[in-house]
Amino acid sequence: MITGFWKKLKKPFFVLAPMADVTDCVFRALIAKYSGHGKASGGPDVFWTEFVSADGLCNEMGRKHLLIDLKYSEAERPIVAQLFGSNPENMEKASALVASLGFDGIDINMGCPDKTIEKQGAGAAMIKNLPQAKEIIRAVKRGAPNLPVSVKTRIGYNKNEIDTWVRGLLEEDLAALTIHARTRKEMSLVPARWEHVREVVDLKNKMGKDTLIIGNGDLLDIADARKKALETGCDGVMLGRAIFGNPWLFDEQKGIAVGQSTADDRVGLGSGNHAVTIEERLRVLVEHAQEFERVLCPHKSFAVMKKHFKAYVNGFDGAKELRMQLMNTENSKQVSEIIGEFLKKPL
C-alpha cells in the first residue's frame, strides 16, 4: 500500500541506490549539494542509506559502530533507511530504532549477493525462502507502523522467479518494490534485462496492487533512466554505479553519462553550457576527501576513498598518473596537495 512520501512523488521519479561504502552520509550530502536536490534542476527524488545490519543494531557494541551508517541531514529528505537481516525479532527492533531516528521510510535488502550476507540468511538468500521473507516484511511493519516499507530485490535466484518470488512480495502490499533486472546467479556479469521490469509491472497490474515499481540496473544517466521508465511502465528508476565520481548525476544539465569523457578542460564533462570542468570535478574530489576524513574517520578507513579516486579521475590527459598518486594517499591533506600540484593552483 502506498503511504507516506511515496504518494507525493511525480512519475517517473529517480532515486539513489544504496551502495555499501559508497552512498554514505558524506557522499549523499555532496550529491544533494551538486545535483540540485530540492530545486527544479534536479536531485534524487529519494535517498537511500547504505544497508545496515539489523542484528548489529540490536546489540550495544554493534549499534555504537553502525549508527554512523544511519547519519543523515535534512537536505537529503525524503530518505529511506535500508536494513538487512533474517531474524524477525531483530528486524522489528531495528525498524523501531530507524523510526525513532526520523527516517521517512524503511527498505529491506533482499537482493545483495554478498556471501557473508547470504550466510546470515539475508540479502539474496531471502529469494530462496519466501515464507521467511514475508515474516520479515511483517516484522518491519510491526516495528515501524507509521513508516512506508519497501523491498529491493532481484528477479530470482538462479532463474526468473517473477511469478513466484515477486508475486509473493507483492502480496504483502509494499509501498514500493525495486527490481534489479538480473538473477542472483548472474550478479552483474550480464547486462540487465529490462523486459523483466515490464513483466513485474504487468504482474502488479494484473494483481490489482498499487505498489510502486522501481527498475534498477545498468543505467547510464537520467536520460537513459527516463527512456527505461517509458519503455517498461515502471513508476521510478534507481541509479547506482553511474553516481561514482558524478555527484552531478541527477542534474540533467550537468550529469556525466557513464563512459563519457573528454580531454578538453574548456568543454569539461557534461552537457550544454553547464558542463562540469575537470578542475571542478577535481576540486569536488578534494572536498569529498576532506569531508570523509572529518565526518567518517575513524569510523571508516580513509582507504574507502580509493574507489572514489578511480571514478573522479579518468577521461582526461594525465588522469592515470594522477590516479596512481592518489591511490597512495593516507589523508585528505595529501589528496589536496597532489590535486593542487596537478592543477598548479592552491586549493
- For position 44, which CATH number holds? 3.20.20.70
- Note whether 119 and 174 are same-domain residues: yes
8 Å CB contact between 197 and 214: no
Domain match, 228 and 284 both: no
Query: Sign (positive/negative) of CA torsion 97, 98, 101, 104?
Result: negative
The residue-averaged pLDDT of 253-264 equals 50
Domain range for 39: 4-243
Residue 266 lies in a domain: no
Q: Which of 156, 159, 181, 182 is closest to 169 using CA atoms?
A: 156
Provide the Cα torsion 240, 250, 46, 64; round to 10°. Answer: 60
Per-residue pLDDT at 262: 38
pLDDT in tens, 177-236: 999 999 999 988 889 999 999 999 999 999 999 999 999 999 999 999 999 999 999 999
Given 25, 112, 234, 297, the catalytic residue = 112
pLDDT of 259 > 70? The answer is: no
Grid coordinates representing 253 are 544539465
Give residues with Cβ within 8 angstroms of 123, minimum separation 6: 84, 109, 110, 111, 112, 113, 114, 117
DSSP per residue, 2-67: --GGGGGPPSSEEEEPP-TTTS-HHHHHHHHHHTTTTBTTB--SBEEEEEEEHHHHTSHHHHHHHG
237 and 294 assigned to the same domain? no
**Catalytic residue check, 112:** yes
Residues 286 and 234 in one domain: no
Q: What is the pTM of this model?
A: 0.93
Q: C-alpha cell of 315?
A: 577521461
Mean model confidence pLDDT for the chain: 92
Among the three residues 243, 262, 294, which one is the final residue of a domain in this structure? 243
pLDDT score of 118 more than 90: yes
| Domain final residue, candidates 228, 243, 258 | 243
In this structure, the answer to whether residues 276 and 325 fall within a common structural domain is yes
Q: Given strand 212-216, what is the order of strands in its sheet? A: 13-16, 236-239, 212-216, 176-180, 149-154, 105-110, 79-84, 47-53
Per-residue confidence (pLDDT) for residue 347, from 0 to 100? 56
Query: What is the structure's pLDDT at 255?
Result: 65
The tally of domains found in the chain comes to: 2
- Same domain for 148 and 220, yes or no, is yes
Q: What's the CA gap between 217 and 197, in Å, rounded?
A: 10
Yes or no: say if 66 and 284 are a contact pair by the CB < 8 Å rule. Answer: no
| Dihedral angle of Cα 86, 87, 93, 98, to the nearest 10 degrees | -10
**198 plus 279 within the same structural domain:** no
Report if residue 259 sits inside a domain: no
- Looking at the fold, whether 129 and 45 belong to one and the same domain comes out as yes
Residue 277 resides in a domain: yes
Same domain (yes/no): 127, 194: yes
CB contact at 8 A, 93 and 59: no
pLDDT for res 289: 98
- Does 261 fall in a domain? no
Closest by CA position to 74, among listed 50, 53, 103, 106:
103
Mean pLDDT across the stretch 266-283?
66
Q: What is the pLDDT of residue 275?
A: 77
Residue 265 has pLDDT above 80, yes or no: no
Question: Cα-Cα-Cα-Cα dihedral of 215, 27, 252, 260, to 10°?
Answer: -90
The alpha carbon of 26 is separated from its chain's Cα centroid by a whole number of angstroms, namely: 13
Q: What are phi and psi of 189, to 5 degrees?
A: -85, -15
pLDDT reading at 38 higher than 60: no
The answer to whether residues 117 and 234 belong to one domain is yes
Top pLDDT among 257 and 198 is at 198
pLDDT value for 2: 86
The verdict on residue 120 lying in a domain is yes
Least confident window among 165-169, 254-258, 293-297, 318-322: 254-258
Co-location of 67 and 164 in the same domain: yes
Average pLDDT over residues 109-123: 97
The pLDDT score that the predictor gives to residue 225 is: 96
Q: Which of 130, 121, 90, 123 is nearest to 109 (CA)?
A: 123
Residue 52 inside a domain? The answer is yes
Specify whether 238 is located in the same domain as 296: no
More confident residue, 276 or 155: 155
pLDDT given for residue 344 in this prediction: 86
Residue of 180, 130, 126, 175 lying closest to 150 (CA atoms): 175
pLDDT tier for residue 256 given thresholds of 50, 70 and 90: low
State how far the Cα of 266 lies from the Cα of 253, in Å rounded to an integer.
16
In a domain, 260, yes or no: no
In a domain, 9, yes or no: yes
